[in-house]
């Protein structure tokens, strides 16, 4: 993507000061997004702007002054397709990350990032003179159940697993952790490897539960992580039947 030199000048927009280094962070983000876009066009994988990225694109035609990254959405089936081909397509200085692909990554947000910091001439040239890490986050959309009681039961299961995860992260009493794991195993007919990394197992299990109603849910679709743990993030499936570039 070619950007005019003026793009990187300091600016005051809507009373908000945007320094040149923030513009360079945007430029690095756009460089990563251009690779994602190239891959998605090549393999016919739809994706969608999300959050502040969507608001800025539709309302302002540019970044919101105080936004510092790019967020996109993919339907689960499209994300799975993306996972299959992304590593072989990315340039050497970019890396895809997700908890299913990287055992050291804990979190429900995946993405593509510039994989190192540095002041080498080629690296700076490739990323608009931005020497630090830069990431485009990918959020996954799953189907939600049509029946309200099913949704409530699903939510309570996810919150139960989230509580166990939080207990492990807070390094609380091992006996309490084992008791909670026993309860989860009884409900899910699932066995945890207690000698392995419990945190990573729980992240993967919660992500699997997120997918419980895919291809069999109702008209609602959303990012289950945000909907249940932070705020509502639900949409009608019809919203994703077509896209506008």
What does the pLDDT read at residue 176?
Answer: 85
77 falls in which pLDDT band (50, 70, 90)?
Answer: very high
231 falls in which pLDDT band (50, 70, 90)?
Answer: low
Percentage of residues of the chain with pLDDT beyond 90: 60
For 138, other C-beta atoms within 10 Å of its C-beta total 24
**Whole-prediction pTM value?**
0.91
Report yes or no: 81 and 43 within 8 Å, Cβ to Cβ.
yes
Tell me the domain boundaries of the chain.
5-143, 148-212
Long-range CB pairs of 233-240 (<8 Å, 24+ gap) are 234/144, 235/141, 237/143, 240/46, 240/48, 240/75, 240/141
CATH for 5-143 (3.30.70, 3.40.50, 3.40.1710, 3.30.460): 3.30.460
- Does residue 58 have a pLDDT over 70? yes
Secondary structure percentages of the chain, helix, strand, coil, to 5? 50, 15, 35
- Does residue 41 have a pLDDT over 90? yes
Q: Which residue has the higher pLDDT, 179 or 29?
A: 29
Torsion, Cα 13 16 21 26, to 10 degrees, reads -60
What does the pLDDT read at residue 88?
Answer: 95
- Does residue 11 have a pLDDT over 80? yes
100-104 average pLDDT score: 75
H helices of the chain, in order, are 20-42, 51-55, 76-89, 121-126, 148-169, 174-188, 198-210, 224-229
- Does residue 47 have a pLDDT over 80? yes
DSSP at 27: H
Q: Which residue has the higher pLDDT, 175 or 85?
A: 85
- Does residue 163 have a pLDDT over 70? yes
Mean pLDDT for the chain overall: 90
DSSP-derived pairing of the beta strands 135-143 and 70-75: parallel
13-29 average pLDDT score: 94
Sign of the CA dihedral with 5 first, then 57, 25, and 103 last: negative
What does the pLDDT read at residue 228?
Answer: 79
Q: Which residue has the higher pLDDT, 179 or 23?
A: 23
Length of the chain: 245
């Amino acid at each position: 993507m070619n950007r005019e030199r003026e793009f990187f000048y300091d600016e005051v927009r809507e009373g908000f000061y945007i320094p040149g280094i923030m513009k360079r962070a945007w430029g690095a983000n756009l460089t990563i997004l251009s690779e994602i876009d190239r891959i998605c066009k090549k393999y016919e994988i739809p994706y969608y702007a999300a959050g502040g990225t969507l608001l800025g694109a539709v309302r302002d035609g540019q970044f919101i002054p105080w936004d510092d990254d790019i967020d996109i959405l993919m339907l689960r089936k499209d994300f799975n397709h993306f996972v299959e081909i992304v590593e072989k397509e990315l340039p050497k200085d970019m890396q895809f990350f997700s908890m299913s692909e990287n055992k050291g990554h804990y979190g429900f947000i995946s993405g593509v990032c510039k994989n190192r910091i540095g002041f080498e001439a080629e690296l700076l040239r490739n990323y608009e003179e931005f020497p630090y890490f830069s990431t485009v986050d990918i959020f996954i959309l799953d189907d939600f159940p049509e029946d309200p009681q099913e949704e409530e039961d699903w939510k309570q299961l996810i919150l139960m697993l989230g509580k166990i995860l939080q207990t492990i992260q807070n390094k609380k009493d091992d006996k309490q952790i084992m008791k909670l794991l026993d309860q989860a195993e009884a409900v899910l007919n699932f066995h945890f490897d207690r000698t392995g990394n419990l945190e990573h197992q729980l992240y993967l299990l919660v992500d699997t539960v997120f997918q419980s109603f895919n291809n069999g849910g109702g008209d609602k679709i959303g990012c289950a992580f945000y909907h249940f743990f932070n705020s509502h993030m639900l949409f009608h499936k019809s919203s994703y039947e077509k896209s506008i570039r």
